[in-house]
Chains A and B, each alone.
Chain A
């Protein structure tokens, strides 16, 4: 099956767990950033860069970045395999779906490298 070849973990159960574990990490990171902005309404560059240069924050941010990439891939795969089907887009569905997923994979990879570059530049 084409679907199982391109899925993240080659297994629906694995993808299911990855999607939820990454969701929890992303939610925690979002609430952390929200709390930070609420507690520090007037911050400057020094404080902002100090936040991201701490080792703990680097770990948390990289974890969130990896979660984002995995979460986005599983999500976009789900969308692609649900809607880019012969019933929805016609005979060229397989090619369209592959092109779409290749684009998503490339963008995910760019986000990963970009994010690492930002985090390690601080």
Chain B
């Protein structure tokens, strides 16, 4: 394959529409929670190890850094879940048109923002 072939989608030269931003964030959040799963597995393993481990896991989640890290992972997870459900709906031809796509993208932002705030309230 030639390395000099033209690049059709030059991300840096045009403004992305909202549905493109939700789609890109779906990828970013997916890559982020791929790493974040390590935190969840660590906490699951610790909490199931012994009563002392369960207390340690609880203490870790209740520390400021623990809360922030868990909240960040949950935020990524919530966004990815909401955007993923929209993706599955679009596979069924629901909201995959121009207008529906824009509305869907707006809904993804609103619903995941509410979810992320609620997750924060629940943690604090």
- A residues with CB within 8 A of B: 20, 23-24, 27, 30, 44-45, 48-49, 52, 68, 72, 75-76, 78-79, 86-87, 91, 104, 107, 111, 114-115, 117-118, 121-122
Query: How many angstroms from the CA of A86 to the CA of B7 in the assembled complex?
Result: 10
Chain B interface residue count, Cβ-Cβ cutoff 8 angstroms:
27
Contact A24 B7 (CB under 8 A): no
**A to B CB contacts below 8 Å, 11 in the list:** A20-B88, A27-B85, A30-B77, A45-B54, A72-B34, A87-B7, A111-B37, A111-B38, A118-B45, A121-B48, A121-B49
| Inter-chain pairs besides A23-B84, A68-B37, A72-B30, 13 sampled, C-beta below 8 Å | A23-B88, A27-B81, A27-B84, A44-B54, A45-B47, A48-B48, A48-B54, A75-B34, A79-B30, A86-B3, A107-B34, A115-B41, A118-B48
B contact residues around A122 at 8 Å (CB): 48
Report the minimal beta-carbon distance from B12 to chain A, rounded to whole angstroms: 11
> Once A and B bind, how many residue pairs between them come within 8 Å at the CB atom?
60
- Say whether chain A's binding surface is mostly helix, strand, loop, or mixed: helix
Please, what's the 1-or-0 string for B20-64, where 1 marks a CB less than 8 Å from any CB in chain A? Answer: 000000010011001001100100110111110011000000000
- B residues with CB within 8 A of A: 1, 3, 5, 7, 27, 30-31, 34, 37-38, 41, 44-45, 47-51, 54-55, 77, 81, 84-85, 87-88, 91
Report the minimal beta-carbon distance from A21 to chain B, rounded to whole angstroms: 11
Tell me whether A30 and B41 are in contact in the complex, defined as CB-CB below 8 angstroms, given that A52-B48, A76-B31 are known contacts: no
Can you name the residue of chain B whose Cβ is closest to the Cβ of A73? B34
Can you name the residue of chain A whose Cβ is closest to the Cβ of B47? A48
A contact residues around B7 at 8 Å (CB): 87
Query: How many angstroms from the CA of A39 to the CA of B85 in the assembled complex?
Result: 24
Query: How many angstroms from the CA of A27 to the CA of B85 in the assembled complex?
Result: 8
B contact residues around A78 at 8 Å (CB): 27
Contact A79 B41 (CB under 8 A): no
Report the minimal beta-carbon distance from A101 to chain B, rounded to whole angstroms: 12
Which of B27, B34, B41: most chain A CB closer than 10 A?
A: B34
